[in-house]
Structure 1
């Protein structure tokens, strides 16, 4: 196995109590798997190697209490480096670090820190200060943790603002969607009402047309009836009977009856009495003969006359 991967190094030979010294081993990779199996090695020295990056699995070495990564080529630390919660002493002297991961704020047990000779961004460099003695390195650990906690809080607030903004945006989208759905419902309702109104107008128009046709037909029937009535002769005006007319009619009838009785009496006298040959009965007898001749065809009258003659 290649030496620079650390797999060619016998780690047990490098272990002294709880200290594992892998410095000056020309490593460009960290043997994380082997280190994870050596939980007794709480002090790890990886200084003076060619390490440019630490794998994300390095953060699983949570048993580490003291870690020396000085004099390497590290450009950044794993984003979850803060998982090394038991870490108390961290030496990052002479690397190429510019920033630290925000999770660095979770190293609550960190008591000693050296960040000298790194191209740190100005704010972080000012906070880290110079680690020239034990006191300054301890102070650097405190200040850097405070700084990273502030960054983490700001990041959390920014994340909360983003979450809140996303929630507000989501609420806005939901409100717009609800408003859109309400508009669509209102539009459908209005269209439905307009369609119903249109059908009602059509229904009313059909009813009106039907009534017009029926009225026209009824008027035509009435016109036919008027024509038929006009073609018939007007009925005679009713006779107005007054009391004088009734009296006149009664007198006329009585007079006529009297004349008839007189005529019958004259005829009877001139036909059945002894004065028949007298000149006074000549007109009566002549009238009688003419009447008998005229009414000779009426058998009923003949019987009446025969009875009169026989008498």
Structure 2
């Protein structure tokens, strides 16, 4: 039977509020067609080859009783708990290992059969044998309790995970703020260092300009001083220190020679005049020269006195004129 034929014949499968789709060799649930009949609250899908339920199956919230026994179901939709009106669920002889956590939200569920499924041990213990009506009702109650416990544990795990994530986020934000604070402090320190560097460079430039200006002023004063003196100071020192040296040495030598010669003449004159050598022929010209000198000195006495008088008058006039100009 094709899907089109199933859709066309779905009305033939409805009897009051019941839809019988068992033994139709179905591999999937005709969700859209079932949704078109909200008054059909009981659906029998047993003895087919259905391996999974589509997520849209959970939108059939009007369903009250669903029979999925003897199919190939390996899992159920995660939102199965949306079937809030579901009271009777038959999952006998499928391939289910676990149930979705949302199964705990099926608060209207009163009857459940999970026999002949490879359930995990905890779920199998809660499901029990379900051999009669009473045991299937107990199965619904205990499985709901079991799934609520799993739901609570999942909620706690999720809450812990959220707390961990919040804590990690808080630490991350704290580290981010700390890093930003360090970067801000580093930028502030760099700005302060840069400002200090610019200040030092400015002070160095001002000092260099001041030194250059002072040097220029000193150079200008030196040039003005050279202009006033008419000769560089270095040339004057050289003239004073170097040039006169040969003159002073020659003049000193000549003075020394004249002094020695004069002393020698005086010694000879004294020896010829005051000792017994005056009778010797050698001293005769010396004595004659001394006598002539004495006579000449007496003759020049008047001239010398006049010269000394004139010299004294000239010195007196010079001193008076100097005193007058000073005043």
TM-based fold match above 0.5? yes
Task: Find the aligned partners of 1:4 and 1:13 in 2 and give their Cα distance.
Answer: 15
Deviation at 1:37, TM superposition (A): 1.2
Indicate yes or no: 2:156 matched with 1:151.
no
SS of 1:108's equivalent?
coil
Q: 1:128 to 1:107 in 2, by over 3 A?
A: same
Report what 1:130 is aligned to: 129
Task: Find the aligned partners of 1:39 and 1:135 in 2 and give their Cα distance.
Answer: 30
**RMSD after superposition:** 2.5
Report what 1:165 is aligned to: 164
Report what 1:63 is aligned to: 62
Indicate yes or no: 2:168 matched with 1:176.
no
Deviation at 1:148, TM superposition (A): 1.2
Task: Find the aligned partners of 1:224 and 1:101 in 2 and give their Cα distance.
Answer: 108
Deviation at 1:95, TM superposition (A): 0.3
Higher-helix-fraction structure:
2
CA shift digits 1:140-189 (9 cap, x unpaired): 11111111112222222222232332333333333222222222222221
Asked whether the 8 Å contact 2:52–2:73 carries over to 1, the reply is yes
Asked whether the 8 Å contact 1:102–1:151 carries over to 2, the reply is yes
Deviation at 1:6, TM superposition (A): 6.7
Taking structure 2 as the reference length, what is the TM-score of the superposition? 0.64
SS of 1:85's equivalent?
coil
Q: Which runs of 5+ in 2 are unaligned?
A: 231-327
CA shift digits 1:112-143 (9 cap, x unpaired): 11101001111111111111122211111111
Report what 2:103 is aligned to: 104
Indicate yes or no: 2:194 matched with 1:195.
yes
Deviation at 1:9, TM superposition (A): 6.5
Report what 2:210 is aligned to: 211
Asked whether the 8 Å contact 1:74–1:96 carries over to 2, the reply is yes
Report what 1:90 is aligned to: 89
Q: 1:8 to 1:213 in 2, by over 3 A?
A: closer
Task: Find the aligned partners of 2:207 and 2:177 in 1 and give their Cα distance.
Answer: 44
Asked whether the 8 Å contact 1:102–1:148 carries over to 2, the reply is yes
CA shift digits 1:184-239 (9 cap, x unpaired): 222221111111111111111122222323344454566667778989xxxxxxxx
Task: Find the aligned partners of 1:97 and 1:41 in 2 and give their Cα distance.
Answer: 26
Provide runs of 4+ in structure 1 moved above 3 Å.
Answer: 2-6, 214-231
Q: 1:171 to 1:162 in 2, by over 3 A?
A: same
Asked whether the 8 Å contact 1:48–1:71 carries over to 2, the reply is yes
Task: Find the aligned partners of 2:218 and 2:102 in 1 and give their Cα distance.
Answer: 100
Asked whether the 8 Å contact 2:7–2:33 carries over to 1, the reply is no
Task: Find the aligned partners of 2:148 and 2:97 in 1 and give their Cα distance.
Answer: 17
Q: 1:134 to 1:76 in 2, by over 3 A?
A: same
Matched residue count: 231
Alignment of 1:230-309 (within 5 A): none
